[in-house]
Amino acid sequence: MATTSNKAGKSAKKAAVPARKASSPKFVYYFGAGKAEGRADDKNLLGGKGANLAEMCRIGLPVPAGFTISTECCVEYFTLGGKYPKSLEAEVKAALLKTEATMGRQFGDPENPLLVSCRSGARKSMPGMMETVLNVGLCSATIPGLIKKTKNARFVYDAYRRLIMMYSDVVMEKAEGIEPAEGKGIRKQLDDMLHQVKVKKGYKSDTDLSEGDLKELAVKFKARVKELLGKEFPDDPMQQLWGGVGAVFKSWNGKRAISYRRIEGIPDEWGTAVNVQAMVFGNMGDSSATGVAFSRNPATGDHHFYGEWLVNAQGEDVVAGIRTPSPLNEATKNEQNKQFVSLEKGMPVVYKELDGYQKKLEKHYKDMQDIEFTIQEGRLWMLQCRVGKRTGVAALNMAMDMLKEKLIDAKTAVMRVAPAQLDELLHPILDPAAEKAGKVIAKGLPAGPGGAVGQIVFTAADAVEWAKTGKKVLLVREETNPEDVEGMRAAKGILTARGGMTSHAALVARGWGKCCIVGCGSLHIDVHAKTMTAGGSIYKEGDTLSLNGSKGHVYEGGLNTVDATENPRFQEYMKLVDKFRTMGVRTNADTPEDARVARAFGAEGIGLFRTEHMFYGKGADEPLAKLRKMILSKSLEERKAALGELFPYVKRDVKATMEAMDGLPVTFRLLDPPLHEFVPQSPDKQAELASELGISVEDIRKRGEALHEMNPMMGHRGVRLGVTYPEVSEMQFRAILEAAAELIKAGKKAIPEIMVPVTCCVKELDDQKKIFDKVSAEVAAAFGKKVPCLYGTMIEIPRASLTADQMAQTAEFFSFGTNDLTQMTFGFSRDDIGGFMGDYIDKKILAADPFQTIDQRGVGEMIKVGIERGRKTRPNLKIGICGEHGGEPESVKFCFKVKMNYVSCSPYRVPIARLGAALAAIAAI
């Protein structure tokens, strides 16, 4: 054994990772036989897989020995332009020696050869996005020895043909940057050759192939590799090993991995570790098997040991969805797999051992574990454990169950549901009534939750293209393929004919909370013709289907969807969330209906009532006609008369909303948009309005022209309207204060707040405040009591932020309008970013769209300055946000950090904002 490794092994007892000598950085970490140089905390260095293999070794689980080449080595490899650091070779050799000693076999030994796997493992799990090579070390020198040792020539040739398939694909093609046309890759070609043998000989399954078939195939495979890739298949174990390590490193920069990182926000700089581990075989006959399991059901959260296994198979067979796997135990059998033998029945002793390990692991990690295992001739080996991905429903259910079981505390339970998962919980499901009446055309496995309705497409590229044009699509594929990741993302739902619950597509879809059905065996898909047959009918590209991903049912046509909100578990969880939350959450709502929905979601008030919304949509005709009359008035008298007609409508809506909020504060904003938005543009609409108002079309056209602005976003809008037409503000002040006074008089509660939009200097606020004070006094006189009402302002222009000390002299509260503040700080038109934002993100000029998540560096500074200066003048100044960012978790965290009193967002985002606020508070504890 190499001395360096020994030393490292000893020091590992004290520290998580052995100290590094400045001169030669340590890149390789051994694990095996109950000892490991790393541990679970070393994910950044060893990747998730490597760190957990080390941890499993430490806690005494049977893990095949091996070593992890660190992520730092991967970074170094890229820094050196695709070369290994000098010290790596010696370190690998030393670790290999230890592995050999533990396993009692030697790499490349003709008598008793050790085979290894090379697997990727990043800090954060990226299921199926990088490469793996198995059976490394099989060659003409070691094949006979292994046959002698195992007395199983069929198995050895099967392992060899797998090595050729994987290695030629991963190392000789992909890692070399060769990009064959669709369906022309080496893997596909070798697959086709194998398929042809099966067809010719009338075999049903890969396991029917005989020793002779496999031996012959290996020869033919190697010839095809040479022919296609122009190189001999390497026959030297060490050459194979280094090829495998390099290919795994390179797969960090493979297309799929890059796409996945972009979607998941994983930094490019992290790199992957490589785990080189002694092979154990699940394909050594009927006492061997392989499987994937979860300590609880990842789709529903049910507390059942749950998983799939395949007898006489290697792990790739389960995840690639080549064979439909069997259930792990009796309790979790479903419609699709009830006829198969469970591991519990088929291998009861091993099942019991495995069940013990999954319990131990869950207790150790205090979270649901996703486990990979292999049984070699009756002996169980643990190959991987990690925190399992789960749907939003499962995350919620597990968090609440584990809290009850006292496995985790309340704080941890809150943190177990990500804001995006909460969003997923609020997503639609197929309307159960529509499902009852609907026609089920196929059934598969319920791999990803909720309902999805869309037009079917048959390739990932089509899914992306169609989605770009705004179409809702369902991606239909024969089998699950991680290369489809972009198409899966773009699709509303995913449907596959093959694969199990643990196939890559299922894992990925579940992680995203995307509706997904896999293993729908009755589907016949013809990718070339772009058709699928199900339930006796043929469906073409573009036909609409509906999926219930929670049941695994596929329906013909587009079914109605409904929201899945009335879950008592959800209410319970949100109560827990609020225990930790300190910042308020309000909603942006302008109708009593929205107000009610938002209250049901836990809104503590309305942070933005956009007055102008009463002039759009349902029931808007009458008030809009009055507003238009006001806009088209030629004199002050005419305008006042029109405002008088408009008044009752405004008062009615304002009152109904305050009533619905029942004593929670409601922030009304004065009319904000430029008036020309309300004047019809088309000649026939103008003619209609002219006859309605009894004026000429010419008058309307002229007024429209007069109101026309080159840059309306910075034109006559917001407070500027109130400055030029004080009577417009006066009408609104009166409507709000009288509505509140009437409610209070009737014994109800009403807490109005009024804010002035698009302000940039305190004098604007002073100007409007005079009107407000006058109206307030008049209403007080009329009702015998003053209505308490705060007077505040939006802060959405940089100058307002910079002069916040002055603004706060008059404003009693601030509400940051980060939509406009982002627009004006960046100088990006909020309505026109579509033309360039994609390029800004792709070229990494901006990390994210600043209209979605607050740009903390720029707009965030503007907010900080505004808060600091505002509170200098008025220490108790109430401050909130009402731009779209108020419902975006990262932005909510920022709002907490800068000490806002509340965030305000659209009703359906209220729970997400509540969770975001709680998580921020927990992080600050």
Residue 120 forms beta bridges with which residues?
Answer: 274
- Closest to 382 measured CA to CA, from 395, 398, 390, 371: 371
606 sits near ligand PEP (criterion: CB under 6 A):
no
818 sits near ligand PEP (criterion: CB under 6 A):
yes
Pick between residue 259 and residue 901 the one whose CB is nearest to ligand PEP: 901
Residue with tokens 């991987």: 384
Stretch that binds ligand PEP, among 61-69, 645-653, 693-701, 811-819 (CB under 6 A): 811-819
Could you tell which of ligand PEP, Mg ion, none binds residue 484, using a CB distance below 5 to 8 A set by kind?
none
CB of 821 to ligand PEP, least distance (A): 6
Stretch that binds Mg ion, among 426-434, 510-518, 591-599, 811-819 (CB under 5 A): 811-819
608 sits near ligand PEP (criterion: CB under 6 A):
yes
886 sits near Mg ion (criterion: CB under 5 A):
no
Residues 722/758, Cβ–Cβ less than 8 Å: no
Residue 882 catalytic?
A: yes
Q: Secondary structure of 658-697 in the HEC alphabet?
A: HHHHCCCEEEEECCCCCHHHHCCCCHHHHHHHHHHHCCCH
Residue type, 241: L
Out of 220, 610, 640, 864, the residue judged to bind ligand PEP by CB under 6 A: 610
**How much of the chain is in helix, strand and coil states, percent to nearest 5?**
50, 15, 35
795 sits near ligand PEP (criterion: CB under 6 A):
no
Torsion from C-alpha of 860, 863, 865, 866, nearest 10 degrees: 170
- Cα(37)–Cα(157) distance, rounded to whole angstroms? 35
CB of 585 to Mg ion, least distance (A): 20
Residue-by-residue DSSP string for 851-870:
TTS--TTTHHHHHHHHHHHH
Query: Which 8-state DSSP code applies to residue 469?
Result: T
CA distances from 619 to 159, 168, 591, 613 (A): 71, 66, 11, 11
Out of 796, 855, 884, 888, the residue judged to bind Mg ion by CB under 5 A: 796
820 sits near ligand PEP (criterion: CB under 6 A):
yes
Out of 87, 819, 856, 873, the residue judged to bind ligand PEP by CB under 6 A: 819
Out of 76, 484, 590, 796, the residue judged to bind ligand PEP by CB under 6 A: 796
CA distances from 595 to 25, 469, 606, 608, 657 (A): 60, 33, 8, 11, 7
Residue with tokens 């799929």: 256
716 sits near ligand PEP (criterion: CB under 6 A):
no
Pairing of strands 113-114, 28-32: unpaired
Q: Going by C-beta distance under 8 Å and a sequence separation of 6 or more, which residues neighbour residue 874?
A: 808, 809, 812
Q: Would you give the end-to-end CA distance of the chain in angstroms?
A: 47
Residues 218/160, Cβ–Cβ less than 8 Å: yes
Residue with tokens 């942070």: 607
653 sits near Mg ion (criterion: CB under 5 A):
no
Pairing of strands 751-756, 326-327: unpaired
Pick between residue 550 and residue 588 the one whose CB is nearest to ligand PEP: 588
817 sits near Mg ion (criterion: CB under 5 A):
yes
Pick between residue 682 and residue 711 the one whose CB is nearest to ligand PEP: 711
Residue with tokens 């198409």: 487
Residue 504 catalytic?
A: yes
590 sits near Mg ion (criterion: CB under 5 A):
no
Pick between residue 128 and residue 817 the one whose CB is nearest to ligand PEP: 817
CB atoms within 10 A of CB 138: 26
Question: What is the footprint of ligand PEP within residues 69-88 (CB under 6 A)?
Answer: none
Give me the 556-595 binding string for ligand PEP, x by CB under 6 A, dash otherwise: ----------------------------------------
Question: What is the footprint of ligand PEP within residues 669-698 (CB under 6 A)?
Answer: 672
Q: Going by C-beta distance under 8 Å and a sequence separation of 6 or more, which residues neighbour residue 378?
A: 287, 288, 347, 350
Pick between residue 234 and residue 860 the one whose CB is nearest to ligand PEP: 860
Could you tell which of ligand PEP, Mg ion, none binds residue 883, using a CB distance below 5 to 8 A set by kind?
ligand PEP
Pairing of strands 584-588, 35-36: unpaired
Could you tell which of Mg ion, ligand PEP, none binds residue 172, using a CB distance below 5 to 8 A set by kind?
none
Q: Secondary structure of 528-584 in the HEC alphabet?
A: CCCEEEECCEEEECCCEEEEECCCCEEEECCCCEEECCCCHHHHHHHHHHHHHCCCE
Out of 820, 855, 884, 888, the residue judged to bind Mg ion by CB under 5 A: 820
Stretch that binds ligand PEP, among 62-70, 215-223, 617-625, 816-824 (CB under 6 A): 816-824
Stretch that binds Mg ion, among 338-346, 625-633, 810-818, 889-897 (CB under 5 A): 810-818
Pairing of strands 289-294, 326-327: unpaired
Per the residue annotation, which of 74, 139, 385, 504 is the catalytic one? 504
Could you tell which of ligand PEP, Mg ion, none binds residue 370, using a CB distance below 5 to 8 A set by kind?
none
Per the residue annotation, which of 73, 118, 882, 905 is the catalytic one? 882
Give me the 847-886 binding string for ligand PEP, x by CB under 6 A, dash otherwise: -----------------------------------xx---
128 sits near ligand PEP (criterion: CB under 6 A):
no
Strands (E), 263-343: 272-278, 289-294, 306-311, 326-327
544 sits near ligand PEP (criterion: CB under 6 A):
no
611 sits near ligand PEP (criterion: CB under 6 A):
no
674 sits near Mg ion (criterion: CB under 5 A):
no
817 sits near ligand PEP (criterion: CB under 6 A):
yes
798 sits near Mg ion (criterion: CB under 5 A):
no
Using CB under 6 A, list all residues that contact ligand PEP: 608, 610, 672, 796, 817-820, 882-883
Using CB under 5 A, list all residues that contact Mg ion: 796, 817, 820
Active-site positions read: 504, 882
